[in-house]
Structure 1
């Protein structure tokens, strides 16, 4: 076996090893393989083959990231931004959000209850809550709508999702 084939097999072995641990975007996988000393000429054919064989999928990666980040109560704007930074196409992101539906308003309310232990006291407190939700990745209009929200006493007794 010549050196070129051996390098391609080693590159593929490392890529599959990374994918066995968790989903990766194509760009993220290419970066990690480049960090391990593989050239773009070696990485691209390996990634093409992994995509063709179903080992790597940006769609699966996006769905996985949406599940993981929303479980930590991050909003759709922040998740979409993170996916864009990882090189996931906007169309794939939209499909993944459609496949993983979430009630973002409920998630934002859960975040408010987890972060703050009492209703907003005044306007600066509502503004602080608004900024907090926006930083967590919730749309500004939803954040504005919920900044003054607090559960009724019977809602507060129910467990968070």
Structure 2
């Protein structure tokens, strides 16, 4: 490996030591200082050594966002921005999470009027929950 590629490799390895990164994230961060050919060579080596894994990154990222109370739409969008197009979110119960997030913010009591319900729906939408998940969060509390 060339000397320049070693510095790219070491820079990427330092980033991965702090936290998991997707291939695209590493490419974008390293592109500020290094050439594309050197970046690709270094990242391919890291991938072959199993230091960088998009699957491992996606698993950690989804778990972190789920624990933060983010919905499936928001998580899928964030993953796509980080270069992960296909990830199965079916293992996570976003219906229960939507109810939990709504109850923690507004309490167990169902909204008394349309204005209050709309406010809660907008809040859940901003968190990235889908229409069905939002509606179920109200039905489960009734």
TM-score, normalised by the number of residues in structure 2: 0.91
The separation in 2 between residues aligned to 1:144 and 1:105, in whole angstroms, is 9
Q: 1:121-151 CA deviation, whole Å, 9 max, x = no partner? A: 2112111111211211111122133246537
- Do structure 1's residue 54 and structure 2's residue 50 form an aligned pair? yes
Structure 2 residue ranges without an equivalent (≥5):
none
CA RMSD of aligned residues (A): 1.7
Higher relative contact order, chain-length normalized (CA < 8 Å, sep 6+): 2
Moved over 6 A (4+): none
Shift of 1:39: 1.1
For residues 136 and 100 of structure 2, the distance between their equivalents in structure 1, rounded to whole angstroms, comes to 14
Contact 1:126–1:148 at 8 Å: present in 2 too? Answer: no
Q: For this pair of structures, how many residues does the alignment match?
A: 141
* Per-residue deviation, residues 23-79 of structure 1 (Å, max 9, x unmatched): 1000001111112x1111110111111111111111111100111000111111101
5+ residue gaps in structure 1? 152-161
Out of 64, 68, 75, the residue aligned to residue 72 of structure 1 is 68
Correspondence for 1:144: 135
Q: Secondary structure at the match of 2:31?
A: helix
TM-score of the aligned structures, taking structure 1 as reference length: 0.81
Distance of 2:123 and 2:132 partners within structure 1: 13
